[in-house]
């Protein structure tokens, strides 16, 4: 049965089974321009939805905005609309000296330091990417001779710090690669709704820096990494 997805304002019968997502509506538009027969499906709030095809396979690209609660609305409606694979094309701050701005990280799982998922699933429930999606992303990066860092990332809600210090050092010591704001929501919703999920991230700086002064994702280095990760995600999703 076809239905209009409430916040995305996309008709479920128009939604492809394979969906790429990203925070920034401008990034969604740019990635959509790479597709054959690209068309806008709908724009509502931060959710801009496009569809088209890549190497003959139909897919959608949808923006989810900043932060897990708003992104979860997008992921839930995509699942309700019949999406079977969702891959996030994001940016992240690095936790490790060898992972530098312009590098690409493939997330295998997310530490759940967001506030949303503890209201969805019990404590201790893991936020894990689908192993086939992870493999497809790793294979696609390899095919493009693009080195990547593969491992655990962390999802939190705080971007600009307040009075409380976030314990970055603990997670750095534990070997977490990078930090962003939506992967745990994506992986958790994927697990409970039966959607295969994954995420690839362009590094734009260091997550424990003073982001008020040091955050700048608008560099050529980061733009090139985002373009490269978009191609990797496009190549990967058609094999899922
Ligand atoms: O580049 P996107 O997809 O927006 O992801 C990252 O950038 C935003 C913060 O600026 C957060 O949404 C974070 O997860
Ligand atoms: O959440 C984010 C996203 C990009 N860079 C960061 O440092 N944090």
- pLDDT value of residue 208: 95
- CATH assignment of the domain containing 37: 3.40.50.1580
- 3 found inside a domain: no
Contact between 93 and 206 under an 8 Å Cβ cutoff? The reply is yes
Exposure class string for 216-239: b at 16+ Cβ within 10 A, else e: ebeeeebbebbebbbbbbbbbbbb
Q: How far apart are CA 178 and CA 10, in angstroms?
A: 32
Kindly state if the Cβ of 46 falls inside 6 Å of ligand 1. Answer: no
Index of the ligand 2 atom closest to the CA of residue 181: 1
Residue with tokens 């724009």: 43
pLDDT tens digits, residue range 128-177? 999 999 999 999 999 999 999 999 999 999 999 999 999 999 999 999 99
The domain total for the chain is: 1
4 occurs within a structural domain: no
pLDDT at 105: 99
Q: Is 23 in the pocket of ligand 1 (CB under 6 A)?
A: yes
ipTM of the complex: 0.97
In a domain, 1, yes or no: no
SS3 82: coil
The whole model's pTM is what? 0.98
pLDDT of residue 33: 98
Alpha-carbon gap, residue 61 to 72, rounded angstroms: 16
What's the pLDDT at 167?
97
Question: Helix H segments across 86-219?
Answer: 131-143, 168-173, 183-193, 211-214
Q: Which residues touch 76 (CB under 8 Å, ≥6 apart)? A: 189, 193
Q: What domain range is 180 assigned to?
A: 12-237
pLDDT confidence of residue 1: 80
- pLDDT at site 232: 98
Residue nearest to atom 9 of ligand 1 (CA): 66
Q: Which residues of the chain have pLDDT under 50?
A: none
């Amino acid at each position: 049965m076809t239905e209009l997805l409430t916040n995305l304002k996309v008709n479920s019968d128009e939604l492809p089974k394979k969906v790429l997502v990203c925070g920034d509506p401008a990034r969604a538009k740019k990635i959509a321009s790479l597709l054959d027969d690209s068309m806008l499906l709908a724009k509502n709030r931060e959710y801009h939805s496009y569809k088209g095809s890549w190497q003959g396979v139909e897919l959608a690209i949808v923006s989810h905005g900043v932060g897990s609660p708003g992104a979860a609305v997008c992921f839930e409606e995509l699942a309700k609309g019949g999406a079977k694979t969702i891959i996030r094309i994001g940016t992240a701050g690095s936790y490790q000296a060898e992972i530098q701005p312009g590098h690409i990280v493939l997330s295998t799982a997310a530490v759940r330091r967001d506030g949303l998922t503890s209201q969805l699933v019990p404590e201790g429930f893991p936020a894990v990417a689908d192993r086939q999606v992870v493999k497809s992303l790793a294979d696609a990066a390899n095919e493009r001779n693009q080195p990547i860092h593969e491992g655990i990332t962390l999802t939190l809600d705080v971007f600009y710090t307040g009075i409380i210090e976030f314990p970055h050092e603990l997670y750095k010591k534990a070997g977490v690669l990078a930090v962003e704001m939506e992967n745990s929501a994506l992986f958790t919703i994927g697990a409970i709704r039966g959607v295969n999920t994954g995420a690839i991230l362009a590094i734009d700086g260091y997550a424990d820096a003073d982001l008020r002064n040091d955050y700048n994702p608008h560099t050529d280095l980061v733009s090139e990494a985002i373009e490269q990760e978009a191609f990797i995600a496009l190549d990967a999703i058609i094999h899922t």
